[in-house]
Structure 1
Amino acid sequence: MSYPEPAGSAEAALATVREIAAEFGRTVVTADGAGPDVSAELSGSPAVTLVLYADGQAAVTVETVHFDLDPGEVGPFLRAVYDGTAYVHAVTKWWQFLLPLTAAGYWLVVPMPGERAYKELVPRMILTPWLTARLRTPPGKQDPQ
């Protein structure tokens, strides 16, 4: 699958979103806005909403976790969310829990092409069933079989 390079405009990014949504059996509902920004919501689980701004930025929310992206990254980002490569990483080192609102808790990690990843904090109060299903135990911490 190829993506428009670059998907700098909101229209090009929205076309990519519609293509990926169709591939994964989702529908895209766009909000009728009175401005140049485009808002869209994708059906199904996980809950995904996105806003494509006229200034060339995009905001994607996955199960209440917010990410700021370039419009050209929206396609690979959604693909990682829907194909199962996105995961939740739990902090397991005791000293990290002493750092308020920095490293403690859970992180939603969305791997991108080129060994990059987007990573955002997931507060424990909003660990949804979809996020819980993607929880990974760090290497060396697996339960004994």
Structure 2
Amino acid sequence: MGAHHPHLPTTESAVAAIREVAREYNLEMLVTDDIGADQTSRRTSAGAFAVLDPDGTLPHEAFVELGGTPSVTVRLYPEDDAQITVEGVVFDDVPRDSVPAFLRSAFGGLAHVKGRFFPPGWWLVVPLPGDETYKEPVALRMLSPWLSGRVRK
């Protein structure tokens, strides 16, 4: 860890980037970003008493809910990564820089579900520009109408 990386986006700038995408797709957006260092939802490995980031600022996360279809939430962590949930399918460890492109893929119709009947398996595939692709398994019982409408054999 150690040095603060000024080139890495802050939680605020990541939220601003998500807000930009929400505006593009005309989505409602709800942000909860008052999560202080005493309440961060994970990463106790950083030491329970390490309240300040190396540069003296409070680490904080933000939780963003986007209205519209698909249903999407984004949890931005202080460690420059994010967890994005699309229709109940959880994508962990998405770099904060990739969040806007990920959301554009989800809302812009690039994200799709790949599946096969035997052996049964469904995956939500979210392609990003530059050959980056995120894939997570989808439980059959979780196939929402949006996910079902995105199935490609």
Coarse TM-score class (shorter-chain normalised): 0.7 to 0.9
Where structure 2 has 5 or more consecutive residues not aligned to the other structure, the ranges are 1-6, 37-59
1:10 corresponds in structure 2 to 11
Q: CA deviation at 1:82?
A: 0.8
Query: Are the counterparts in 1 of residues 35 and 62 from structure 2 also a CA contact under 8 Å?
Result: no
| Deviation of 1:9 (Å) | 1.6
Number of aligned residues: 123
Pair 1:23 & 2:24 matched:
yes
CA deviation after TM superposition for structure 1 residue 7, in Å: 5.5
Higher-strand-fraction structure: 2
Moved over 6 A (4+): none
* 2:34 partner SS: coil
SS state at 1:55 partner: coil
Matched-pair contact (CA < 8 Å) for 1:18–1:27: no
Q: Which residue in the other structure is 2:128 paired with?
A: 112
Q: 2:75, 2:126 → 1: CA distance?
A: 18
Confirm or deny that 1:54 pairs with 2:70: no
The residue number in structure 2 matching 1:91 is 116
The one-letter code sitting in structure 1 at the alignment partner of 2:29 is: V
| Secondary structure of the corresponding residue to residue 33 of structure 1 | strand
* TM-score under structure 1 length normalisation: 0.80
**Alpha carbons of 1:25 and 1:90: their partners in 2 closer, same or farther (altered >3 Å)?**
same
Deviation per residue, 1:10-62 (Å, 9 max, x gap): 11111110000011010210125332110010011111001101121101000
Q: CA deviation at 1:91?
A: 2.4
2:151 to 127, 132, 135: 135
- 2:8–2:80: 8 Å Cα contact kept in structure 1? no
Cα 1:33–1:124 change in 2 (3 A) is same
Look up the match of 1:38.
62
Percentage identity across paired residues of the two chains = 40
Give the TM-score normalised by the residue count of structure 2: 0.76
Name stretches of at least 5 consecutive residues in structure 1 with no aligned partner: 1-5, 98-103, 138-145
